[in-house]
Amino acid sequence: MPAETASSLNGRPVIKGFYEHRTGSIQYVVADPETKRCAIIDPVLDFEPSSGSTATASADEMLAYIEQQGYSLEWILDTHPHADHFSAAGYLKDRTGAPTAIGEKVVEVQKLWKSLYNWPDSFPTDGSQWDRLFADGERFRIGNLGVEVMFCPGHTLCSITYLVGDAAFIHDTLFMPDGGTARADFPGGSAKALWHSIQRIMALPDETRLFTGHDYRPGGRAARWESTVAEQRWENRHLVSAKTEEEFIALREGRDRELPMPKLILTALQVNIRGGRLPEPESNGRRYLKIPLDALSNASWGD
**209-267 residue pLDDT tens:** 999 999 999 999 999 999 999 999 999 999 999 999 999 999 999 999 999 888 899 99
In a domain, 216, yes or no: yes
Average pLDDT, the chain: 93
Whether this model's pTM surpasses 0.95? no
pLDDT in tens, 91-133: 999 999 999 999 999 999 999 999 999 999 999 999 999 999 9
In a domain, 290, yes or no: no
Is residue 179's pLDDT more than 80? Answer: yes
Q: Rounded CA gap, 18 and 28, in Å?
A: 6
CATH number of the domain within which 136 lies: 3.60.15.10
In a domain, 278, yes or no: no
* Percent of the chain clearing pLDDT 70 (strictly above): 95
- Closest C-alpha to 213, from 34, 118, 78: 78
Please answer whether residues 268 and 84 qualify as being in contact, where contact means their C-beta atoms are separated by less than 8 angstroms. yes
pLDDT in tens, 269-302: 999 999 999 999 999 999 999 999 988 867 666 6
In a domain, 250, yes or no: yes
* Lowest pLDDT segment from 28-32, 50-54, 268-272, 297-301: 297-301
In this prediction, residue 295 carries a pLDDT of: 83
In this prediction, residue 11 carries a pLDDT of: 84
Helices 57-69, 89-96: crossing angle, 10 deg rounding: 40
Instruction: Bin 114: left if φ > 0, else alpha if -120 < ψ < 50, else beta.
Output: alpha
Domain count for the chain, please give it: 1
In a domain, 274, yes or no: no
In a domain, 279, yes or no: no
In a domain, 119, yes or no: yes
In a domain, 125, yes or no: yes
In this prediction, residue 182 carries a pLDDT of: 93
In this prediction, residue 302 carries a pLDDT of: 61
Please answer whether residues 98 and 71 qualify as being in contact, where contact means their C-beta atoms are separated by less than 8 angstroms. no
In this prediction, residue 187 carries a pLDDT of: 86
252 three-class SS = helix
Range of the domain at 129: 14-269
